[in-house]
Chains A and B, each alone.
Chain A
Amino acid sequence: MTWRCGIAVFPGTWSERDCAHWVELAGGEPVMLWHAERQLKGADLVILPGGFAHGDYLRTGAIARFAPLMDAVRDHALAGGPVLGICNGFQILCEAQLLPGALLRNSCLQFRCQSTHLRVEATRGPFLAGLEAGRILEMPISHGEGRYYAPPEQLLELEAHGQVALRYCGPAGELGDEYNPNGSLQHIAGVMNREGNVLGMMPHPERACEPLLGSEDGLHLLRAALALVGAS
Protein backbone atom coordinates (compact mmCIF):
# COMPACT_ATOMS: atom_id res chain seq x y z
CA MET A 1 0.00 0.00 0.00
CA THR A 2 1.19 3.46 -0.81
CA TRP A 3 0.72 6.19 1.78
CA ARG A 4 -0.86 9.41 0.73
CA CYS A 5 0.99 12.61 1.50
CA GLY A 6 -1.14 15.71 1.19
CA ILE A 7 0.84 18.75 0.05
CA ALA A 8 -0.81 22.08 0.84
CA VAL A 9 -0.67 24.67 -1.93
CA PHE A 10 -1.42 28.31 -1.13
CA PRO A 11 -1.17 31.19 -3.62
CA GLY A 12 2.57 31.86 -3.47
CA THR A 13 3.71 28.39 -2.37
CA TRP A 14 6.83 27.53 -4.37
CA SER A 15 8.13 24.20 -3.11
CA GLU A 16 5.18 21.86 -3.70
CA ARG A 17 6.73 20.13 -6.73
CA ASP A 18 10.00 19.55 -4.92
CA CYS A 19 7.96 18.08 -2.07
CA ALA A 20 6.05 15.81 -4.46
CA HIS A 21 9.34 14.52 -5.91
CA TRP A 22 10.65 13.92 -2.39
CA VAL A 23 7.46 12.05 -1.41
CA GLU A 24 7.77 9.81 -4.48
CA LEU A 25 11.42 9.05 -3.74
CA ALA A 26 10.43 8.08 -0.20
CA GLY A 27 7.76 5.73 -1.52
CA GLY A 28 4.65 7.80 -0.87
CA GLU A 29 1.93 9.14 -3.14
CA PRO A 30 1.76 12.93 -3.32
CA VAL A 31 -1.67 14.61 -3.40
CA MET A 32 -1.87 18.35 -3.96
CA LEU A 33 -4.29 20.15 -1.64
CA TRP A 34 -5.35 23.58 -2.87
CA HIS A 35 -5.86 26.06 -0.04
CA ALA A 36 -9.56 26.47 -0.81
CA GLU A 37 -10.27 22.74 -0.30
CA ARG A 38 -12.07 21.73 2.85
CA GLN A 39 -10.78 18.19 3.15
CA LEU A 40 -7.50 16.32 2.89
CA LYS A 41 -8.46 13.83 0.13
CA GLY A 42 -7.58 10.86 2.29
CA ALA A 43 -4.05 12.03 3.10
CA ASP A 44 -2.28 10.06 5.86
CA LEU A 45 0.11 12.90 6.51
CA VAL A 46 0.18 16.55 5.53
CA ILE A 47 3.10 18.66 4.35
CA LEU A 48 2.99 22.46 4.34
CA PRO A 49 5.77 23.39 1.90
CA GLY A 50 7.93 26.48 1.58
CA GLY A 51 7.18 29.63 -0.36
CA PHE A 52 5.54 32.96 0.27
CA ALA A 53 1.88 32.13 0.89
CA HIS A 54 -0.29 35.18 0.18
CA GLY A 55 2.88 37.16 -0.51
CA ASP A 56 3.89 37.05 3.17
CA TYR A 57 1.62 40.10 3.53
CA LEU A 58 1.15 41.42 7.07
CA ARG A 59 3.38 38.67 8.52
CA THR A 60 4.63 35.35 7.14
CA GLY A 61 1.80 32.84 7.39
CA ALA A 62 -0.65 35.34 8.88
CA ILE A 63 -3.20 35.13 6.03
CA ALA A 64 -2.62 31.49 5.07
CA ARG A 65 -3.76 30.34 8.46
CA PHE A 66 -7.34 31.37 7.60
CA ALA A 67 -7.48 29.20 4.46
CA PRO A 68 -10.39 26.70 4.46
CA LEU A 69 -7.81 23.91 4.11
CA MET A 70 -6.26 24.90 7.43
CA ASP A 71 -9.41 23.83 9.30
CA ALA A 72 -8.91 20.33 7.93
CA VAL A 73 -5.18 20.46 8.73
CA ARG A 74 -6.00 21.55 12.28
CA ASP A 75 -8.49 18.68 12.74
CA HIS A 76 -5.92 16.22 11.38
CA ALA A 77 -3.22 17.58 13.70
CA LEU A 78 -5.46 17.59 16.78
CA ALA A 79 -6.44 13.99 16.04
CA GLY A 80 -2.75 13.04 16.17
CA GLY A 81 -2.14 12.93 12.41
CA PRO A 82 1.38 13.75 11.20
CA VAL A 83 1.89 17.32 9.97
CA LEU A 84 5.19 18.72 8.72
CA GLY A 85 5.69 22.43 8.03
CA ILE A 86 8.79 23.37 6.06
CA CYS A 87 10.05 26.96 5.95
CA ASN A 88 6.93 29.00 5.11
CA GLY A 89 4.92 25.97 6.29
CA PHE A 90 6.62 26.28 9.69
CA GLN A 91 5.71 29.97 9.79
CA ILE A 92 2.09 29.11 8.98
CA LEU A 93 1.94 26.45 11.74
CA CYS A 94 3.21 29.02 14.25
CA GLU A 95 0.66 31.62 13.14
CA ALA A 96 -2.05 28.94 13.36
CA GLN A 97 -0.87 28.22 16.90
CA LEU A 98 -0.35 24.57 16.09
CA LEU A 99 3.27 25.19 17.09
CA PRO A 100 4.62 27.59 19.73
CA GLY A 101 6.71 30.68 19.00
CA ALA A 102 7.24 32.83 15.92
CA LEU A 103 9.74 33.30 13.08
CA LEU A 104 11.30 36.74 12.76
CA ARG A 105 13.52 38.53 10.26
CA ASN A 106 17.00 36.95 10.18
CA SER A 107 19.33 38.80 12.55
CA CYS A 108 21.79 39.35 9.66
CA LEU A 109 18.93 41.05 7.72
CA GLN A 110 19.91 38.96 4.67
CA PHE A 111 18.01 36.25 2.84
CA ARG A 112 20.10 33.15 3.52
CA CYS A 113 20.34 30.36 0.96
CA GLN A 114 23.00 27.89 2.06
CA SER A 115 23.67 24.40 3.30
CA THR A 116 23.37 23.85 7.04
CA HIS A 117 24.15 21.10 9.51
CA LEU A 118 21.40 20.11 11.91
CA ARG A 119 21.64 18.15 15.11
CA VAL A 120 18.74 15.87 15.91
CA GLU A 121 17.62 16.76 19.45
CA ALA A 122 14.38 14.82 19.82
CA THR A 123 13.67 11.39 18.41
CA ARG A 124 9.96 11.13 19.03
CA GLY A 125 7.11 11.95 16.70
CA PRO A 126 6.56 10.50 13.23
CA PHE A 127 9.33 12.37 11.42
CA LEU A 128 12.26 11.85 13.78
CA ALA A 129 11.38 8.49 15.32
CA GLY A 130 13.73 6.65 12.97
CA LEU A 131 16.78 8.73 13.92
CA GLU A 132 19.12 8.66 16.89
CA ALA A 133 19.67 11.73 19.10
CA GLY A 134 22.78 13.67 18.19
CA ARG A 135 22.76 12.56 14.58
CA ILE A 136 23.95 15.27 12.16
CA LEU A 137 21.87 15.96 9.06
CA GLU A 138 22.79 18.21 6.17
CA MET A 139 20.07 20.25 4.49
CA PRO A 140 19.79 23.67 2.85
CA ILE A 141 17.96 26.69 4.18
CA SER A 142 16.43 29.38 1.99
CA HIS A 143 14.72 32.13 3.94
CA GLY A 144 14.73 35.74 5.08
CA GLU A 145 12.58 35.23 8.16
CA GLY A 146 13.71 32.17 10.05
CA ARG A 147 14.87 33.52 13.39
CA TYR A 148 13.01 31.39 15.89
CA TYR A 149 11.66 33.28 18.86
CA ALA A 150 9.60 32.22 21.85
CA PRO A 151 9.21 34.08 25.15
CA PRO A 152 11.78 32.97 27.78
CA GLU A 153 9.30 30.97 29.87
CA GLN A 154 8.01 29.19 26.78
CA LEU A 155 11.57 28.35 25.66
CA LEU A 156 12.17 26.68 29.02
CA GLU A 157 8.98 24.71 28.58
CA LEU A 158 9.98 23.64 25.06
CA GLU A 159 13.33 22.35 26.31
CA ALA A 160 11.74 20.65 29.32
CA HIS A 161 9.22 18.79 27.18
CA GLY A 162 11.71 17.79 24.48
CA GLN A 163 9.97 19.89 21.84
CA VAL A 164 13.18 21.26 20.32
CA ALA A 165 13.56 18.92 17.37
CA LEU A 166 16.56 20.25 15.45
CA ARG A 167 19.36 22.74 16.11
CA TYR A 168 21.78 24.40 13.70
CA CYS A 169 25.29 23.12 14.39
CA GLY A 170 28.76 22.62 12.95
CA PRO A 171 29.81 19.54 10.94
CA ALA A 172 30.58 17.64 14.14
CA GLY A 173 27.46 18.73 15.98
CA GLU A 174 29.07 21.63 17.84
CA LEU A 175 26.85 24.61 18.68
CA GLY A 176 27.97 28.18 18.04
CA ASP A 177 26.83 31.51 16.66
CA GLU A 178 28.99 30.88 13.57
CA TYR A 179 26.75 27.94 12.68
CA ASN A 180 23.48 29.76 13.38
CA PRO A 181 22.44 31.33 10.08
CA ASN A 182 19.59 33.52 11.31
CA GLY A 183 20.00 34.28 15.01
CA SER A 184 17.43 31.73 16.20
CA LEU A 185 17.22 31.48 19.98
CA GLN A 186 19.06 28.40 21.30
CA HIS A 187 20.09 27.68 17.66
CA ILE A 188 16.61 26.23 17.08
CA ALA A 189 15.96 25.03 13.51
CA GLY A 190 12.84 22.97 14.21
CA VAL A 191 10.25 22.47 16.94
CA MET A 192 7.39 20.07 17.52
CA ASN A 193 4.17 20.26 19.48
CA ARG A 194 3.89 18.61 22.89
CA GLU A 195 2.50 15.41 21.38
CA GLY A 196 5.21 15.25 18.71
CA ASN A 197 2.95 14.73 15.69
CA VAL A 198 3.36 18.28 14.37
CA LEU A 199 6.88 19.31 13.32
CA GLY A 200 7.99 22.64 11.91
CA MET A 201 11.45 23.30 10.51
CA MET A 202 13.12 26.06 8.51
CA PRO A 203 15.58 23.82 6.57
CA HIS A 204 14.33 22.05 3.45
CA PRO A 205 14.43 18.23 3.65
CA GLU A 206 12.84 18.02 0.19
CA ARG A 207 15.92 19.73 -1.25
CA ALA A 208 18.19 17.08 0.26
CA CYS A 209 16.72 13.90 -1.18
CA GLU A 210 19.12 12.59 -3.81
CA PRO A 211 22.89 12.49 -4.46
CA LEU A 212 22.65 15.13 -7.18
CA LEU A 213 21.52 17.61 -4.53
CA GLY A 214 24.51 16.89 -2.30
CA SER A 215 22.60 15.17 0.48
CA GLU A 216 19.94 12.51 0.92
CA ASP A 217 19.37 13.24 4.59
CA GLY A 218 15.91 14.66 3.93
CA LEU A 219 14.66 11.20 3.01
CA HIS A 220 15.13 9.97 6.58
CA LEU A 221 12.32 12.19 7.90
CA LEU A 222 9.74 11.06 5.41
CA ARG A 223 10.71 7.38 5.43
CA ALA A 224 10.36 7.35 9.21
CA ALA A 225 6.92 8.94 8.97
CA LEU A 226 5.72 6.63 6.21
CA ALA A 227 6.92 3.56 8.08
CA LEU A 228 4.99 4.73 11.11
CA VAL A 229 1.82 5.51 9.17
CA GLY A 230 2.12 2.07 7.59
CA ALA A 231 2.47 0.33 10.94
CA SER A 232 -0.55 1.96 12.55
Chain B
Amino acid sequence: MTLKPVVNDPQGLAVTQGLHALGYPEVLGTRVGKHIQLTLTARDRQGAESRVEEMCRRLLCNGVIEDFHFQVAEVGA
Protein backbone atom coordinates (compact mmCIF):
# COMPACT_ATOMS: atom_id res chain seq x y z
CA MET B 1 0.00 0.00 0.00
CA THR B 2 1.51 3.32 -0.97
CA LEU B 3 0.15 6.83 -0.81
CA LYS B 4 -0.92 8.06 -4.23
CA PRO B 5 1.81 10.17 -5.89
CA VAL B 6 -0.28 13.35 -5.52
CA VAL B 7 -0.71 12.87 -1.76
CA ASN B 8 1.88 14.68 0.36
CA ASP B 9 3.90 12.24 2.51
CA PRO B 10 5.46 14.11 5.46
CA GLN B 11 6.69 10.84 6.91
CA GLY B 12 8.66 10.20 3.73
CA LEU B 13 10.11 13.72 3.87
CA ALA B 14 11.25 13.13 7.45
CA VAL B 15 12.91 9.85 6.45
CA THR B 16 14.69 11.57 3.54
CA GLN B 17 16.03 14.22 5.94
CA GLY B 18 17.19 11.49 8.32
CA LEU B 19 19.04 9.69 5.52
CA HIS B 20 20.66 12.95 4.44
CA ALA B 21 21.80 13.54 8.03
CA LEU B 22 23.35 10.05 8.06
CA GLY B 23 25.40 10.84 4.97
CA TYR B 24 23.23 9.65 2.09
CA PRO B 25 22.81 12.84 0.05
CA GLU B 26 21.99 10.78 -3.03
CA VAL B 27 18.49 10.06 -1.69
CA LEU B 28 16.13 12.25 -3.69
CA GLY B 29 12.88 11.13 -2.15
CA THR B 30 11.18 8.60 0.12
CA ARG B 31 7.62 7.35 0.11
CA VAL B 32 6.54 5.37 3.15
CA GLY B 33 3.97 2.64 2.58
CA LYS B 34 2.50 -0.39 4.28
CA HIS B 35 3.21 -4.08 3.78
CA ILE B 36 0.53 -6.66 4.55
CA GLN B 37 1.08 -10.42 4.39
CA LEU B 38 -2.00 -12.60 3.98
CA THR B 39 -2.12 -16.39 4.18
CA LEU B 40 -5.18 -17.83 2.48
CA THR B 41 -6.55 -20.88 0.76
CA ALA B 42 -7.51 -20.87 -2.92
CA ARG B 43 -8.19 -23.37 -5.69
CA ASP B 44 -5.75 -21.68 -8.00
CA ARG B 45 -3.67 -18.55 -8.50
CA GLN B 46 -6.37 -16.74 -10.46
CA GLY B 47 -8.90 -17.37 -7.72
CA ALA B 48 -6.50 -16.07 -5.06
CA GLU B 49 -5.71 -12.98 -7.12
CA SER B 50 -9.31 -12.00 -7.63
CA ARG B 51 -10.13 -12.47 -3.93
CA VAL B 52 -7.08 -10.49 -2.78
CA GLU B 53 -7.86 -7.69 -5.20
CA GLU B 54 -11.36 -7.49 -3.75
CA MET B 55 -9.98 -7.43 -0.20
CA CYS B 56 -7.68 -4.57 -1.14
CA ARG B 57 -10.53 -2.57 -2.62
CA ARG B 58 -12.97 -3.22 0.21
CA LEU B 59 -10.77 -2.90 3.28
CA LEU B 60 -7.00 -3.05 3.03
CA CYS B 61 -6.61 0.04 0.86
CA ASN B 62 -8.40 3.40 0.93
CA GLY B 63 -8.71 4.29 -2.74
CA VAL B 64 -9.01 8.02 -1.95
CA ILE B 65 -5.40 8.23 -0.78
CA GLU B 66 -3.66 4.92 -1.50
CA ASP B 67 -2.65 2.65 -4.37
CA PHE B 68 -2.00 -1.06 -3.93
CA HIS B 69 0.06 -3.79 -5.58
CA PHE B 70 0.14 -7.45 -4.64
CA GLN B 71 1.91 -10.66 -5.43
CA VAL B 72 0.54 -14.15 -4.93
CA ALA B 73 2.92 -16.98 -4.09
CA GLU B 74 2.20 -20.61 -3.23
CA VAL B 75 3.19 -21.88 0.19
CA GLY B 76 3.06 -25.46 1.50
CA ALA B 77 -0.27 -26.88 2.68
Binds B, one of A75-83, A99-107, A120-128: A99-107
In the bound complex, residues from chain A placing their C-beta under 8 Å from that of B10 are 105-109, 183
Could you tell me the distance between the alpha carbons of A113 and B19 in the complex, rounded to whole angstroms? 29
In the bound complex, residues from chain B placing their C-beta under 8 Å from that of A111 are none
Binds A, one of B23-31, B43-51, B59-67, B69-77: B59-67
In the complex, residue of chain A having the shortest beta-carbon distance to the beta carbon of B58: A66
In the bound complex, residues from chain A placing their C-beta under 8 Å from that of B59 are 58, 62, 66
A68-112 CB contact bits vs B (8 Å, 1 = yes)?
A: 000000000000000000000000001100000110111111000
A137-171 CB contact bits vs B (8 Å, 1 = yes)?
A: 00000000000011110000000000000000000
Known contacts: A62-B59, A151-B6. The answer to whether A109 contacts B11 by CB under 8 A is yes
The reply on B42 being an interface residue by CB < 8 A is no
Count of interface residues, chain B, beta-carbon cutoff 8 Å: 12
In the bound complex, residues from chain B placing their C-beta under 8 Å from that of A106 are 10
Interface contact A149-B7, CB-CB below 8 Å: yes
The reply on A54 being an interface residue by CB < 8 A is no
In the bound complex, residues from chain B placing their C-beta under 8 Å from that of A102 are 62, 64-65
Interface contact B8-A183, CB-CB below 8 Å: yes
Count of interface residues, chain A, beta-carbon cutoff 8 Å: 19
In the bound complex, residues from chain A placing their C-beta under 8 Å from that of B62 are 59, 62, 95, 102
Known contacts: A105-B11, A109-B10, A109-B14. The answer to whether A151 contacts B64 by CB under 8 A is yes
In the complex, residue of chain B having the shortest beta-carbon distance to the beta carbon of A59: B62
In the complex, residue of chain B having the shortest beta-carbon distance to the beta carbon of A106: B10
Could you tell me the distance between the alpha carbons of A102 and B62 in the complex, rounded to whole angstroms? 9
In the bound complex, residues from chain A placing their C-beta under 8 Å from that of B64 are 94, 101-102, 149-151
In the bound complex, residues from chain B placing their C-beta under 8 Å from that of A66 are 59
Known contacts: A58-B60, A149-B7. The answer to whether A104 contacts B65 by CB under 8 A is yes
Could you tell me the distance between the alpha carbons of A142 and B27 in the complex, rounded to whole angstroms? 34
In the bound complex, residues from chain A placing their C-beta under 8 Å from that of B65 are 102, 104, 149
Q: How far is the CB of B65 from chain A (nearest CB, A)?
A: 5
Contacts A62-B59, A104-B65, A150-B64 aside, 9 further interface pairs with beta carbons under 8 A come to A58-B59, A58-B60, A94-B64, A104-B3, A105-B10, A105-B11, A107-B10, A109-B14, A152-B6
Interface residues of chain B, those whose CB is within 8 Å of chain A, are 3, 6-8, 10-11, 14, 59-60, 62, 64-65
